[in-house]
Amino acid sequence: MKRREFVSKLGAGALAGTALAGCSRSSEQAGPAIIGSGKTIEWKMVTTWPKNFPGLGTGANNLARLITEMSGGRINVKVYGAKELVPAFEIFDAVSRNTAQLGHGAAYYWKGKSQAAQFFAAVPFGLTAQEMNAWIYHGGGMELWQEIYADFNLVPMAALNTGVQMGGWFNKRIDSLTDLEGLKMRIPGLGGEVLNRLGGTAVSLPGGEIFTSLQSGAIDATEWVGPYNDLAFGLYKAAKYYYYPGWHEPGTTLECFVNKEAFEALPADLQSIVTNAAKVANLDGLSELTARNNAALDDLVNKHGVQVLKFPDEVLKQIREVSEQVVAEVAENDPMSKKVYDSYIQFREQAMAWHDVSERAYLNARAL
């Protein structure tokens, strides 16, 4: 199937209720003989997160529930946490092979498959959650994402956004760039490439291995998500300084990807239900983390004595300069990354111009 035909097929409707109107389509338009069979479609979802982990693991559970409920039980999704069916960083291949039909993770974990994939998770000093959703849904991002994943027999969807993350947990103060030299830090994606350029060592670890690695000294520092998720992992027990802002992940999109053959075997209404369930989960996940981070930060500071510190402005300025160089170099060395980079940067510039007179202006005014 050509990409344009595939994209067209995905755009069946904006709401599940509207999608159900697709039942009136002819069987030839709707798909193969699975229609009307009366059989429940059993799907497996594999994730990079520990089973039932607050926010991320429960976000995968929520998406599975939405697909099952919105389809009226015609699709039943069973969720497997990291290592239950396959290891965390093997879910991409498992879904590509149709060992499982759904995967839930983050696109920067697959940079070994495609350097361009990283842009659909987080870019240092890049798009916020609101801007990221706008680029994906209305700025051409989704079409590029689908083009990349089609080569791996996958259909990608945004399924959760963390919002601006925290900068990470450290056992020493970060007062200048020299404090990052020699630092072994768990930090994925393009942010990890920036740390390497600054003289540190980026380590890629699944969530379930972070606490023990930090506690044992296998790593010196780590970023994870934000107060709600970090509190759940007990990271305050292994490091004393909690830095902000999360320059490396300003609006991280977590993804659901579907085996392409399994997706295309669905009738049009179920395709639309899966697609729009992911949209609902994307909004709900961001809303939940935004709400729960408030109380969790208060707990970390007032119950556990965590020292919350801001990266010095000069350090952030220097990190941004290096970040821009690293991201541009990735684009220069890979044609698909260049294609995505051009779209991403153009959208960022437009979003910044608008938000200077809207979101930023309002937040500044509210702080007066």
pLDDT in tens, the chain (368 residues): 434 443 344 444 433 333 333 333 333 333 343 444 579 999 999 999 999 999 999 999 999 999 999 999 999 999 999 999 999 999 999 999 999 999 999 999 999 999 999 999 999 999 999 999 999 999 999 999 999 999 999 999 999 999 999 999 999 999 999 999 999 999 999 999 999 999 999 999 999 999 999 999 999 999 999 999 999 999 999 999 999 999 999 999 999 999 999 999 999 999 999 999 999 999 999 999 999 999 999 999 999 999 999 999 999 999 999 999 999 999 999 999 999 999 999 999 999 999 999 999 999 999 99
Asked if 56 and 112 count as a contact pair (C-beta separation under 8 A), the reply is: no
Q: What SS3 state is found at 82?
A: coil
| Structural domain boundaries in the chain | 3-164+251-290
How confident is the model at residue 43, as a pLDDT? 98
Q: Which residues of 230-249 are buried (b: 16+ CB within 10 A; e: fewer)?
A: bbbbebbebbebbbbebbbb
C-alpha atoms less than 13 angstroms from C-alpha of 142 in its C-beta half-sphere: 21
Give the CA dihedral 305, 307, 308, 311, nearest 10 degrees.
-170
How confident is the model at residue 202, as a pLDDT? 98
Q: What SS3 state is found at 88?
A: helix
Task: Identify the helix (H) or strand (E) that includes residue 201.
Answer: strand 201-203
The dihedral built from the CA positions of residue 243, 249, 254 and 259, taken in this order, carries a sign that is negative
How confident is the model at residue 37, as a pLDDT? 55
What is the amino acid identity at position 178?
T
How confident is the model at residue 7, as a pLDDT? 38
How confident is the model at residue 30, as a pLDDT? 37
Q: What SS3 state is found at 205?
A: coil
54 closest CA partner among 264, 302, 234: 234
Q: How many whole angstroms separate alpha carbon 350 and alpha carbon 339? A: 17
Q: How many whole angstroms separate alpha carbon 83 and alpha carbon 52? A: 13
Alpha carbon of 329 to those of 56, 194, 319: distances in Å?
A: 31, 11, 15
Q: What is the pTM of this model?
A: 0.88
Asked if 338 and 331 count as a contact pair (C-beta separation under 8 A), the reply is: yes
What superfamily would CATH give domain 3-164+251-290? Bacterial extracellular solute-binding protein, family 7 (3.40.190.170)
Q: What SS3 state is found at 254?
A: strand
